[in-house]
């Protein structure tokens, strides 16, 4: 405060100075405290990860020690066998050294390794990590077991019946209230130096099913790899991946329409070739059964597309199988930016006629940016887009051939297409935000209660638009929380649109395999 002479009292001047200093220091202290809290969280996360790595390191040490002891035993047996062979082996007519087969001892050791394993009293392997059991001349080994549980809760402006039609994926949250999306038990391991195997068993609230079970070669030459068993078809980016590998809580609408709620999977074989190019380039060629019920939606399914009558068809020859071709290429556009471009195609019979076929084509693209100084993967930005087109042939059916029809159905090719485009932004450590936009449409009429009707009343073929913002938080690498909002606009809905909110929780325990890029 100034006096009438314009001077400031010393005490007042000191008070102002202290207040100004406090105002300047307070924001800095607040920022320092915030930084300290962030550093403490990162340190705690690192400590947890270090402890987990130490635990796994101890398991690996025990495994190495056990295998080393086993190797010493085999070396001793091999030496003894070689000595016995040397004494008993016949000599050449000119007094030459005993004729030993130099490969005999290693082969015998390998044969012994394949038929015997050190076990405890219960037949369990002596190692802490690998389970093995001998059955006849075959040794079963298991390296990794894991469990993934996905659970969601939410509500919508539409009832459960309409919500179930909007959420067509078998692992989508599909009802007001709570949904157990899946509990997936996975087994993965090395069979021997030439094969690996894995199996995935999925349980929901209503059923337990085998999702995948297949073996993969590891020692073929020329960049080749062969996979055989029951597996997801390598089409696009979403279909080959399990639900816990998706960014969003539900699968895209176009995937549900093309491949059904369970995704396209069947028994067969697939050959992959990592081509000798200067950039990563891989070609996939596959053959699978086309008649796997709900797992082969666009092909020999028990529910033909568009409500058409079902023709009972089997596999009478190579023309009745499902054929896949996929070509994927990756490029590093810069030290921080990578991209992947994929082309996919499917061809096979369908159940809407005695000689009808289906073609499905797809294009997918991924662009990902991550700075060189990122911390544990954050920050990042990714953009992913996938387009699909299907041509589905149908056969003429008359009312005389099918009494359930009210009118004759003409020969027609139903054409359906759709896309999704999504972007994810890892804006800070453990936090992500995303936005997905979808569109699906088609051409050709559907059948409802024996009548030929416009596809706009068919929930599997009408015009669909979906907008889905997403917020993700990772408490650790083994748990995830997601908040998702869906705005759906669909012609088959009574009000043409629906608003839905989902909160999803996921926990993952056991060995965590690397995800495909």
DSSP string across 270-297 = EEEEE--SSS-EEEEEEEEES--GGGST
Given a cut of 60, whether residue 257 has pLDDT beyond it is yes
Q: What are phi and psi of 324, to 5 degrees?
A: -120, 145
Check residue 517 and give its pLDDT.
Answer: 54
Nearest Cα to 341, choosing from 225, 232, 237? 237
Nearest Cα to 420, choosing from 506, 362, 505, 496? 362
DSSP string, 128-168: SS-EEEEETTEEEEE-EEEEEEEEEEEEESS-HHHHHHH--
Check residue 44 and give its pLDDT.
Answer: 72
DSSP string, 232-255: E---TTTTTS-GGG-SSSS--HHH
Given a cut of 70, whether residue 211 has pLDDT beyond it is yes
Check residue 30 and give its pLDDT.
Answer: 56
Least confident of 3-17, 331-345, 476-490, 493-507: 3-17
Three-class DSSP labels, 451-480: EEECHHHCCCCCCEEEEEEEEEEEEECCEE
Q: How far is CA 448 from CA 119, 256, 409, 499, in A?
A: 62, 20, 12, 27
The residues with which 44 forms a beta bridge, in sequence order, are: none
Burial 77-101 (b: 16+ CB within 10 A, else e): ebeeeeeebeeeeeeeeeeeeeeee
Q: What are phi and psi of 337, to 5 degrees?
A: -125, 130
The residues with which 510 forms a beta bridge, in sequence order, are: 146
Given a cut of 80, whether residue 100 has pLDDT beyond it is no
More confident residue, 347 or 48: 347
Q: Which CATH architecture has domain 144-510?
A: Beta Barrel (2.40)
Contact 237, 384 (CB under 8 A): yes
512 secondary structure, DSSP code: -
Model pLDDT for residues 122-142, shown as the tens digit of each residue: 333 333 345 565 555 555 556
H or E element at residue 61: helix 10-88
What is the percent of the chain with per-residue pLDDT over 70, rounded to a whole number?
73
Rounded Cα distance, 418 and 362, in Å: 10
Pull the structure tokens for residue 54: 């130490």
Confidence of residue 68 (pLDDT cuts 50, 70, 90): low
Check residue 56 and give its pLDDT.
Answer: 67
Q: How far from each other are the two terminal CA atoms of the chain, in whole angstroms?
A: 68
More confident residue, 193 or 383: 383
Check residue 102 and give its pLDDT.
Answer: 40
The whole-chain average pLDDT of the chain stands at 83
Model pLDDT for residues 364-384, shown as the tens digit of each residue: 999 999 999 988 889 999 999
Check residue 193 and give its pLDDT.
Answer: 86
Check residue 113 and give its pLDDT.
Answer: 41
Mean pLDDT score, 145-163: 95
Mean pLDDT score, 307-312: 93
Model pLDDT for residues 478-513, shown as the tens digit of each residue: 999 999 999 999 988 888 899 999 999 999 988 765
Tell whether the torsion through CA atoms of 82, 85, 87 and 91 is positive or negative.
negative
DSSP reduced 3-state for 498: strand
The residues with which 135 forms a beta bridge, in sequence order, are: 138
Nearest Cα to 100, choosing from 83, 122, 117, 113? 83
Rounded Cα distance, 202 and 485, in Å: 26
More confident residue, 405 or 96: 405
- Asked whether the whole model's pTM tops 0.85, one would answer no
What is the percent of the chain with per-residue pLDDT over 90, rounded to a whole number?
64
Task: Give the contacts of 332 (CB within 8 A, at least 6 positions apart).
Answer: 338
DSSP reduced 3-state for 484: strand
Model pLDDT for residues 259-299, shown as the tens digit of each residue: 999 999 999 999 999 999 999 999 999 999 999 889 999 99
The top-scoring range by mean pLDDT among 77-81, 384-388, 457-461 is 384-388
Instruction: Give yes or no for a cis peptide into 352 (omega within 30° of 0).
Output: no
Rounded Cα distance, 516 and 246, in Å: 12
């Amino acid at each position: 405060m100034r006096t009438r002479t314009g001077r400031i009292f010393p005490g007042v001047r000191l008070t102002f100075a202290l207040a100004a200093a406090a105002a300047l220091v307070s924001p800095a202290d607040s920022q320092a405290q915030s930084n300290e809290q962030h550093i403490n969280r990162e340190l705690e996360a690192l400590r947890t990860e270090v402890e987990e790595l130490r635990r796994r390191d101890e398991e690996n040490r025990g495994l190495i020690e056990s295998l080393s002891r086993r190797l010493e035993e085999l070396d001793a047996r091999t030496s003894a066998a070689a000595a016995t062979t040397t004494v008993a082996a016949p000599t050449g007519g000119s007094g030459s050294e005993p004729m030993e087969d130099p490969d005999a001892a290693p082969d015998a050791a390998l044969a012994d390794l394949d038929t015997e394993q050190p076990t405890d009293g219960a037949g369990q392997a002596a190692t802490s990590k690998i389970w093995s059991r001998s059955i006849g001349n075959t040794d079963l080994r298991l390296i990794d077991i894991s469990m993934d549980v996905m659970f969601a809760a939410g509500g919508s402006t539409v009832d459960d019946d309409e919500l179930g039609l909007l959420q067509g994926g078998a692992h989508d949250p599909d009802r007001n209230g709570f949904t157990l999306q899946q509990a997936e038990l996975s087994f993965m391991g090395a069979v021997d130096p030439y094969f690996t195997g894995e199996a995935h068993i999925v349980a929901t609230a209503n059923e337990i099913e085998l999702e995948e079970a297949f073996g993969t070669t590891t020692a073929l030459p020329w960049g080749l790899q062969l996979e055989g068993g029951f597996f997801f078809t390598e089409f696009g980016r979403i279909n080959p991946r399990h639900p816990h590998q998706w960014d969003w809580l539900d699968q895209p609408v176009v995937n549900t329409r093309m491949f059904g709620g369970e995704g396209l999977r069947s028994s067969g074989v697939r050959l992959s070739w990592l081509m000798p190019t200067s950039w990563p380039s891989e070609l996939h060629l596959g053959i699978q059964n086309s008649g796997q019920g709900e797992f082969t939606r666009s092909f020999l399914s028990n529910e033909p597309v568009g409500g058409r009558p079902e023709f009972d068809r089997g596999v009478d020859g190579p023309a009745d199988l499902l054929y896949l071709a996929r070509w994927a290429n990756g490029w590093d556009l810069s030290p921080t930016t990578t991209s992947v471009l994929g082309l996919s195609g499917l061809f096979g019979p369908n159940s809407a006629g005695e000689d009808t076929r289906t073609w499905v084509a797809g294009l997918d693209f991924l662009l990902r940016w991550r700075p060189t100084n990122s911390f544990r993967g954050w920050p990042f930005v990714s953009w992913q887009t996938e387009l699909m087109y299907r041509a589905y042939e149908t056969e003429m059916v008359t009312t005389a051939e099918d009494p359930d029809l009210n009118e004759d159905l003409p020969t027609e090719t139903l054409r359906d297409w759709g896309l999704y485009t999504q972007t994810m932004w890892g804006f800070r450590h453990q936090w992500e935000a995303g936005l997905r936009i979808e569109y699906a449409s088609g051409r050709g009429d559907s059948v409802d209660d024996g009548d030929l009707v416009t596809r706009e009343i068919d929930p599997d073929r009408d015009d669909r638009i979906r907008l889905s913002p997403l917020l993700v938080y990772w408490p650790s690498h083994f748990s995830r929380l997601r908040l998702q909002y869906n705005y759906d606009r669909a012609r088959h809905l009574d009000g043409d649109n629906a608003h839905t909110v989902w909160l999803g929780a996921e926990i993952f325990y056991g060995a965590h395999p690397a995800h495909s890029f």
